[in-house]
Amino acid sequence: MKYLIIIFVCFFVATIFSLMGVFVLQYAGLIGKTDTDFKNLPYGIAIAYNLYLSIGSLPILLNLNDRIRSNSLFSALSFFLLPGIFVLFSLLLMWDDPWPGILFCFPYLFILIVSFIRFRKTI
């Protein structure tokens, strides 16, 4: 159950930070300057991107196996392999302007790193 909680906490906290970042960027006038129907699209993209990364974090459940949980390398791979691949693919898709992908993935990956460190300390 604690592994699902790690995934949910990473998703919700990263989503809150991403939405706050989008709000600040819109308030500063850096994005969403025009008055169109797509003005609030970055909010949806922030939520969808964090959901995308949280689905990629489902291999955390492999830590239920004692052999994977006791090995630091396998445990780290279960935490970071798929989200890292998803971030890499997203950055390759946005090769001409990679900053939105970096800004949307940074909160999730930061919280995932903190969760991994806390998880390894409790073992």
- Residue 105 C-alpha from the chain's centroid: 5
81-117 residue pLDDT tens? 999 999 888 888 887 777 777 788 889 999 999 999 9
pLDDT value of residue 36: 78
51-65 mean pLDDT? 93
C-alpha span between 112 and 90 (Å, rounded): 18
Over the Cα atoms of the chain, what is R_g? 16
**Residue 123: closest CA among 76, 84, 56:** 76
pLDDT value of residue 55: 93
Helix, strand, coil shares of the chain, percent, nearest 5, are 80, 0, 20
Q: What is the amino acid identity at position 13?
A: V
